[in-house]
Each structure stands twice: as C-alpha cells, then as structure tokens.
Structure 1
Amino acid sequence: MAAITALQAYGSDQSSDESDSETREESKPESTVHLKPLDKGKTVQSLQNQLQLDAAPLVELKESVDTVQHIDPSKKEVMYNPQYEQMFAPQVGPENPFKTRQQAAVKNSLAGYIEPAHFNEFTFENQRRTFTSYGYAMDPSVDGSGMEGSQIVGSTDLAKKSEGRTVFESTKQRAGDKRKKATANDPSDIEGFEGPWATFVDEKRVMKPSAEEQEELDEILAKRSKKGRQTDEKPVEEKSTLHVKDAYDYQGRSYLHVPQDLETNVFSLEPPEKCYIPKKHIHTWTGHTKGVAAIRLFPKSGHLLLSCGMDTKIKLWEFYNNRRVLRTFLGHKQAVRDACFNNDGTKFLSAGYDKYLKLWDTETGKCISRFTNRKVPYCVKFNPAEDKQNLFVAGMSDKKIVQWDIASGEIVQEYDRHLGAVNTITFVDENQRFVSTSDDKSLRVWEWDIPVDFKYIAEPSMHSMPSVTLSPNGKWLGCQSMDNQIVIFSAQNRFKLNRKKIFKGHMVAGYACQMDFAPDMSYVVCGDADGKLNIWDWKSTKLYSKLKAHDGVCIGCIWHPHETSKVITCGWDGLIKLWD
C-alpha cells in the first residue's frame, strides 16, 4: 500500500504543478516512466491497468551527433571533394575480432606475411656462430644491451662464464678451430719475413726417417710403382687371307688391275651427265661379324671396296662382276675406325681403337709398318699431293693432328690447337690446305706443314661435326652436324657457311653418319640412326626419299663416282648394301 500511496502522491504532484512538469520535460532523462494521475476512489487493479511503462531509450540521430561524413572503405569512387579529416578518419563501427594482422596484410610468402627486417649481416652471423659454438646468443626480440638472463637465448650459465663474449671477441681455443700461424709479416725484414708461408705455432718439425723406416718406405713405393706401371701391349701379329683361288690371272694381273669389260667407263675423269635417285636394293656384301664402321672406294676407278669392321677385320671386295670378297686383313686388336688409300691404291692406312695406325700392301696383304703415339686415332688421311705420298696425318683423341713420315716412321709435325678430339681431316684448295673438325664444335683450316690454324670457325649455334665430305667439284664441304642437319661450307677462300643449303629431316644426333654428293651435284645422300638412306635435292634442299637400308645405324654411304644411281651403304648390322 505504501507503494500505491507513493505513486498517488507522484501523480498528484505532477497534476498540481504544470510548470514544473514542463521544465522536467525539457530535462528528461534517457529512460522515463510516464504515469497518469490516479483517482482516489479506484482499486489497486484498476491502478495496475492504468500504469503504462515506456522503456524505449531516446536515440539521437547520427547526423545530430557526428557532423563528419565518413567514407565507406569498400567504395572505389568518391562523388564529392572530402576533407583530410574525412579521408583519414577512423573506420566507423566495431573492430572485427577475427581479422588478424596476417589476414589484413598482403601475403608475401607461402606461410603468410613477413615483415621486412633490417639488421647488420655481420651481427647476425656473429650471433649465429656464437650460438653454434658456445650455446648462447643475444635475444634479438629484446632491445638494449646487457647480459641479463632475459636477453640471452640458450645457456645463461655459459654466457656468464664467458662474460657474454661472441666468437669474434673470444680468444678461447675451441676444438676444430684453425691453428694459429706464426706472425712474421714485416716485409722489410728480409731474412725473417715468412708471410703466408709461416709455420703453425704448435707445428712440430718432422725429422728424416730412420734407416729402417726408409727401407720400409722404399719397399712400399716400389710395389706401388709396379702396380701403376702400364705394360706395353705388343701389337697383334698381322696377317691376311686371300679368298679367291688365284691372286693373279693368266696374264699375271692382280685384282688391283681395273677390268676392261665393264659397261661403265671407269677411266673417265668427267662425272655422269645425269644422276638418278636409287630405288631398290640390288646386292648385299656379307662377311663382317659385327658392325661396319667405314667404307672406302678404290681411288679413281672405284672397282674395289674397302670396309673397316668392328670385328677388327678389314675386308676388300669387288664392286663389279661377281662382287666377291677378295682379301681379309687381320692386324688390329680392337675395332677399326677409319682407312685411307694412297693415290694409286697400292697401299692403304688403317686406324684402330688399339691405338695403332698400320700401313698395308693392298695386293699382297702384308703389313708394311705400324705407327702409334699411344692415343686413339679417329681419322687418317694420306697427303693427296703426288710428291708427298710418304706423308700422312691422323686426328687423335688427345686433341692433336699428328703428321708422320712413312719413310722414317717418325712424327714430323703436330697441329695442336683443337680443344677436343679430332674427328675429320679433309684436304681442300688443291691439297695445299686441310680442314679439321673436332668435338670442341669448331672447324679449323690449316696450311700444310704450318702448325697454326689460319682460319677458325666457331659460332655459338654450331654443333660438333663428326663427318665431313668434299663435293666432287671441290667447291663445297658437306658437314654432318650433331643437331640433325647437314650444313654446307664453301671450300674456297673464306670457308663461309652457306645458309641457303641446310638439309634436314633425318636423325643423326650422337652418330658420325657419313654423307656424300651425287657425281653431278644433283643430290645429297646420307644415312641416319634409324638405318635409313635419305636423299635430298641439292638445289631445293627438299627431302626426296627415304629407303630402309639397315636394321641398326646406317653409318656410311658412298655414291659411286662413275655410276648414275649406284649408292653403297654400310651399317652397324654388319652388312654392306648396294642400291640402284
């Protein structure tokens, strides 16, 4: 009842004093209870019904409180000219508690955002080495200097013992530290100056061994020298086998004599008028038990064929008539790499992987002489000049071109300018010069008997050229390049690369496949790693045809100089094939 009487008093006071109520309305609190005057004769229930509460707070409008016009950060355009305070005012609204600093920052690493840190590189290295060596370092996250426990990372006990010295300040010798050298760095002291040759401080000068120790050392060294000494391997005894019944015919002529009953004029110095593309396989020479590395035709007439086998054998075959095997030459321990006839074909040189060069008599099969400089010969060539038939050059695996004199059997000149093993030697310019290629991806031109190359061709785009052939007219050098193309250099004067003559379309990377020209310069032929014989047109460089010649690599091919369409190929399947 006391509460009701209080409310009645409140209501009567409110109704009695209107002026006071007006002043109260002007200064209303934010939450006010509005009561109507209560009649004295009414019950408590009616009083409760009349009692009405208005609990809604007074909310002022945003414009009346904040006169600054805030800019929405998500907007990309502002349609009016804001003031500085508006542009850089704090964002309105509560802070997002889930938005971390890493999310707000631009991600500059895989793990998130890394703040740029700037510190002295020496200071970092100093502390890192101190921690690795002594087990303590300064805490980089604490500012200030001092050796309190809170500023040390690692063992505080060790830091106190060493008074917080770093590796660059400590003079303590550690296990594994470099030994100190005696300092005698005064160059004015001529006798006492030691400089970088000074001895170590704790170095003990070793005296000479005693007599007994010296004997033991001598025995050990003698055993080592015997093990390391290479025994000179004696060359294989050379022999040859004749495969035909009679070495001479009824007139006393050997197989070197050119047959007279041939349809082709093999004595002609002029090439055939018109050459044609070979279409079919007409003959196979078999006899080698392993791959054939190279084939060479008898000079001028071409009526005989010489083949170098990986079975250490050299075989001589007939090209015309019965196409028999005439003679086998045995004299190399390992595979035969190259061979070369002299001008009249009565002798030939062979180069084998057993590091020997051997001179053979083509007619009798005897080995006349052997040459070696204990390196593997990769190619060999007689000097084509008639007055220099006693001289020959060989490209060796030790980057040298070595010139021998057959008469004396000695080396008379060395051409040592290449940076890799020498692969080919080709005589040009009427035999006054020769061109060599090497694994160093260069081409060098030499004057005969002058051991300095007068022309050096090496471009960044060039690859090594392990096979080079001179064209029949002597104007061009066809080079098999290791980037699966045949490039042509002029063989006269400037030795310039002919960029219009590039023959592509075959795969030879890694193999020294020999290429050749047609006698009338109308076609270019070459084998490839797939065992195919590729034929291009010389003028248009168009690839005309591909013939499947061998099962393995087709390593060599020769277009017969007196035939219009006869090409000989040899491969690593041990076969030699004739195509027409």
Structure 2
Amino acid sequence: MLKIQVNKLHTLTGHNDCIYGIVEGPDPRFFYTASGDGMVIEWDLDKPKDGKLIAKVPHSVYALEVDKERNLLFIGHNFEGIHVIDLEKSEEVWSLKMTDQSIFDIKVVGNELYVGTGDGIITIIDIEQRAVKKHIKISKKSVRVFAVDPTKRQLAAGLSDHSIKIFNLADHTPIHNLEAHNNSVFALGYSPTKSVLISGGRDAHLNIWETKNYSLQESIVAHMFAINYLSFREDGNYFVTCSMDKSLKVWDSNNFKLLKVIDKARHAGHATSINKVLWSSYNQQIISVSDDRNVSIWHVEI
C-alpha cells in the first residue's frame, strides 16, 4: 500500500452555523463556502486565514456554483432562489425568485444553469436572459446532487428516491434511470479521465458505474454512515469522500482501494458530520467543511 502522509495545515473559522456549500473559484486560488447562517465567504489559499464576506442572505445556503466564463458566483438561497455575484466587483448583479423549496445543488453548463430542489424539480435557467427556461419534474423526492460529463454532454442527478437519473444536455431528454442505492443519493462524480461515474449516499455505499451503458461495476461499503460528497483530484487518479461519520477517505481511482482515513483521532479532524469536500486544483490540497462550523485544509502527499 502507498505510504500517504497527511498534514492538517489550517482550521478556518468565521461561519456561525453548519457549513454546507463549497466551490472553487474561476481562479482556483480562491474558494467559497456557504452555511446555515446565510453567509458566503471567500477564502484565499495563499492567505487562508483572511476570509472575506461576499454575501449574506436571510436563509441557509446549501449550494454554490461558479461560472468560470462569466466570473460569476451562483448562490442557492433556500426558499427564495438564486443570487448572482460578480466576483470581480464583489457585488450582486442579479437574482431570481424561482422556488419556495430548498436548493440542494447547482451546475453551470454553457449558457444554462441547472438547479435541483426539494420538490423533485430540475429548473433550467438561461444565464444570459436571466430567466427560467424550463422545469423538469423528475421525482416526488428531492434532487440532491448533480454531476456533469462534459465529453458526453450528460447530466447525472442523484435523488432522495434512491435513484440516479441521466439526462442528455442537448435536449434535456432522460437517457437512464439507475436503481442506485438503498437510500438517498448525496454524492456523484464523473471521473475526469475515465468512463466512470461514482455515486455515494445515505446507505454508506460507493457505487462504481461504467458510463457507456451505466452498468454497475462494483459496490463498496465505504463509510460507517452517510456519504455526503466526493471530489476527484484534477488528474483523476484519486478521489476523496466525506461522511456523516466525521471522516474523510482517500481512494485510488484505478482500483477503488481505500488509501487513507483522515479523522479526528488520527489527524485532529472534524468533530461532527463533514458535509462537503473539495480537492483543490490550485495546490492539490483537500478542503473540507463540516457541521462543526470549521473549514479544514489538508496537505496529502501520495
């Protein structure tokens, strides 16, 4: 087994409630976090202690997304809609009241914004027109997470009805309906380098799907409790999962073997559920956010 060294570099504080959202900026030196206190904070990986408040909204924020082409940050404001921040000016440039539900995930694809909500609807927004283009009702349960396969132009949606639904991005038609897990699907990611989709959920399993026909290749009991999110390293060789069991786990993308467990006992990790994780493309550090209101930054040497 590879000898992997893990060093905790920073614990960042500033949020007053559980942290639910994280996204890398158009300039990956910066990343953004959002929490139950409605605050969205910008962090600089070169000067990580100096967090900057970008936005404050009345309700909790679960979802953030960045439009790298237009230098915009999209904030999913629960029970309200979308707020859009111009990152160059650090100010809100538009907003859209589009739902009275929780917003669990947002993805930008070209000129379209995909918004997944608690009522089982995917709302497609035209970014240039700043208007709702289409509603697609896909379930009676929540749409929890999206993943985009840019090469095949497909969108995967993980749902609380235990399924994963695959859509054609060209015309939004459904392609596959995967009976994926025994409980809600919270984590989804397409490999950057292989024809693989990985899913994780409340059942604590990781499922490995090949993306030609979306057949299940392997199912792994990966954590003690719910898998909340996953993130690939930029080169596609490794990915990291985070869980309600308070641990991060680093995996080999080639054979799906567990390489490292990062937790409180061994690495002064988080004290409560880890809600999101990001493998930075700026410096290959791992960034995690938790119910303990802290942002942790890890250097992982593989």
Calculate the TM-score normalised by the size of structure 2.
0.87
Q: Is the 8 A contact 2:240 2:249 kept in 1?
A: yes
Give 1:345 deviation, angstroms: 6.3
Distance 2:5 2:74 in 1: 31
Please list, as runs of the form range in 1=range in 2, the aligned pairs for 1:404-553 lying within 5 A after superposition. Answer: 404-430=125-151, 432-448=153-169, 450-458=171-179, 462-473=182-193, 475-490=195-210, 492-499=211-218, 502-509=219-226, 513-548=228-263, 549-553=269-273
Q: Compared with structure 1, are the counterparts of its residues 373 and 546 closer, same or farther at alpha carbon in structure 2 (3 Å cutoff)? A: same
Q: Compared with structure 1, are the counterparts of its residues 286 and 343 closer, same or farther at alpha carbon in structure 2 (3 Å cutoff)? A: same
Please list, as runs of the form range in 1=range in 2, the aligned pairs for 1:257-276 lying within 5 A after superposition. Answer: none
Q: Could you say which residue in structure 1 is the equivalent of 2:293?
A: 574
Distance 1:457 1:292 in 2: 30
Aligned residue among 44, 49, 62 for 1:337: 62
- Return the index of the structure with the highest Cα Rg: 1
Structure 2 portions without partners, runs of 5+: 264-268
Q: Could you say which residue in structure 2 is the equivalent of 1:223?
A: none
Q: Compared with structure 1, are the counterparts of its residues 415 and 516 closer, same or farther at alpha carbon in structure 2 (3 Å cutoff)? A: same
Q: Compared with structure 1, are the counterparts of its residues 563 and 496 closer, same or farther at alpha carbon in structure 2 (3 Å cutoff)? A: farther
Aligned residue among 32, 38, 45 for 1:312: 38
More helix by share: 1
Q: Which runs of 4+ in 1 moved over 6 A?
A: none
Q: Could you say which residue in structure 2 is the equivalent of 1:289?
A: 16
Distance 2:224 2:44 in 1: 31
Distance 1:452 1:293 in 2: 30
* Cα distance per residue 1:240-287 (max 9 Å; x no partner): xxxxxxxxxxxxxxxxxxxxxxxxxxxxxxxxxxx9834121112211
Distance 1:416 1:354 in 2: 18
Please list, as runs of the form range in 1=range in 2, the aligned pairs for 1:89-238 lying within 5 A after superposition. Answer: none
Q: Could you say which residue in structure 2 is the equivalent of 1:261?
A: none
Matched, 1:364 2:81: no
What residue identity is the alignment partner of 1:314?
Answer: V
Distance 1:402 1:457 in 2: 21
CA RMSD of aligned residues (A): 2.3
Q: Compared with structure 1, are the counterparts of its residues 277 and 520 closer, same or farther at alpha carbon in structure 2 (3 Å cutoff)? A: farther
SS in 2 for 1:515: strand
Q: Could you say which residue in structure 2 is the equivalent of 1:248?
A: none
SS in 1 for 2:185: coil
* Cα distance per residue 1:319-356 (max 9 Å; x no partner): 12x22435312342111111000023621101022322
What residue identity is the alignment partner of 1:277?
Answer: I
Q: Compared with structure 1, are the counterparts of its residues 578 and 331 closer, same or farther at alpha carbon in structure 2 (3 Å cutoff)? A: closer
Q: Compared with structure 1, are the counterparts of its residues 405 and 539 closer, same or farther at alpha carbon in structure 2 (3 Å cutoff)? A: closer
SS in 2 for 1:514: strand
What residue identity is the alignment partner of 2:41?
Answer: K
* Cα distance per residue 1:12-37 (max 9 Å; x no partner): xxxxxxxxxxxxxxxxxxxxxxxxxx
Q: Compared with structure 1, are the counterparts of its residues 536 and 474 closer, same or farther at alpha carbon in structure 2 (3 Å cutoff)? A: closer
Q: Is the 8 A contact 2:201 2:228 kept in 1?
A: no
Percent of aligned pairs with the same amino acid:
16
* Cα distance per residue 1:20-77 (max 9 Å; x no partner): xxxxxxxxxxxxxxxxxxxxxxxxxxxxxxxxxxxxxxxxxxxxxxxxxxxxxxxxxx
Give 1:496 deviation, angstroms: 2.1
Q: Is the 8 A contact 2:29 2:282 kept in 1?
A: no
Q: Is the 8 A contact 1:378 1:396 kept in 2?
A: yes
What residue identity is the alignment partner of 1:341?
Answer: V
Calculate the TM-score normalised by the size of structure 1.
0.47
Structure 1 portions without partners, runs of 5+: 1-274
Give 1:437 deviation, angstroms: 1.6
Give 1:420 deviation, angstroms: 1.6
Q: Is the 8 A contact 1:375 1:398 kept in 2?
A: no
Q: Compared with structure 1, are the counterparts of its residues 332 and 558 closer, same or farther at alpha carbon in structure 2 (3 Å cutoff)? A: same
Q: Is the 8 A contact 1:357 1:371 kept in 2?
A: yes
Distance 2:279 2:172 in 1: 34
Q: Is the 8 A contact 1:478 1:486 kept in 2?
A: yes
Q: Is the 8 A contact 2:25 2:68 kept in 1?
A: no
Where relative contact order (Cα < 8 A, 6+ residues apart) is larger, the structure is 2
After TM superposition, the structure 1 stretch with the greater mean CA deviation from structure 2, 569-578 or 512-521, is 512-521
Distance 1:392 1:379 in 2: 10
Q: Compared with structure 1, are the counterparts of its residues 354 and 330 closer, same or farther at alpha carbon in structure 2 (3 Å cutoff)? A: farther
Give 1:489 deviation, angstroms: 1.8
Q: Compared with structure 1, are the counterparts of its residues 294 and 276 closer, same or farther at alpha carbon in structure 2 (3 Å cutoff)? A: farther
* Cα distance per residue 1:141-187 (max 9 Å; x no partner): xxxxxxxxxxxxxxxxxxxxxxxxxxxxxxxxxxxxxxxxxxxxxxx
